[in-house]
Amino acid sequence: MKLLFLYYDIMNLYGETGNMRVLERHLRDQGLEIKIEGKTLGDDIDFSQYDFIYCGSGTERSQKAVLRHLLPYREQLAAVAENGVPMLFTGNSCEMLGKSITDGKGTVHEGLGLLGFTVTELADTRFTGDVIATTELVEAPVVGFINKCSLLQNVDSPLFQLQMGHGNTQDTKEEGFRFHNLLGTHLIGPLLVKNPAVMEWVVNVIGERQEGFSYRTIHYEYEEKAYLTTYTALKQRLNTK
């Protein structure tokens, strides 16, 4: 199977390559033969070749350059999303999947239009902080970190419900979005590294599309301990507020 790491060189602002490195290990431990391909600005892309697609976070300038490169592929990307191909867009890469992005100067950038939400960047405001969230995907609470300058309006299918942290807008505890097997979230950390349960969900969704796959439970002691340490510390902070 083939995994696509989109814009590995300029959409890796917070070390989000860790998501792909750990995912690769987990998939191989399940006995799956995989190949990771990287595509960046100027490359031709055939999204139909891939069993999983990932894009991380970048600067606002990098995001706009990537968006311009992706616009000719939006129908192809929408088709594979409709077909249930697993995808993960973290940080501000998830913003590109909506109808539009209005930057801090008021310029409107056309989005890929896979979903109907719109994005507004704030010129003088950033939202940062740790996150505790829940999701219907997994039983365990999700942890992460958010660093963004944007608001996502009119998200119809939020991914997370927040107990701690900044939501899609200032007046909601809903964060991110889901479309079939496509997940979009501002949670960085990296998300899959910090959350073994979410990693297991992603591995399962990728594997189930392969003939004869049966998920085998494997315990990763250090990943589980790291998650528990982070969650316990954040929960204590939340309870003292």
Tokens of 179: 């479309």
CB 148 within 8 A of CB 47: no
Instruction: Please give the average per-residue pLDDT across 102-120, as a whole number.
Output: 97
The model's pLDDT over 91-107, given as tens digits with 9 standing for 90+, comes to 999 999 999 999 999 99
Q: What is the pTM of this model?
A: 0.97
pLDDT at 22 > cutoff 90: yes
Instruction: Please give the average per-residue pLDDT across 34-44, as a whole number.
Output: 97
Give the span between the Cα atoms of 89 and 97, in whole angstroms. Answer: 9
Q: Judging by beta carbons within 10 Å of its beta carbon (0-12, 13-18, 19+), is residue 136 exposed, middle or buried?
A: exposed
CB 162 within 8 A of CB 171: no
- Confidence class for position 16, pLDDT limits 50, 70, 90: confident
Percentage, residues of the chain above pLDDT 70: 100
pLDDT at 155 > cutoff 80: yes
CB 202 within 8 A of CB 86: yes
Tokens of 22: 């750990």
pLDDT at 15 > cutoff 90: no
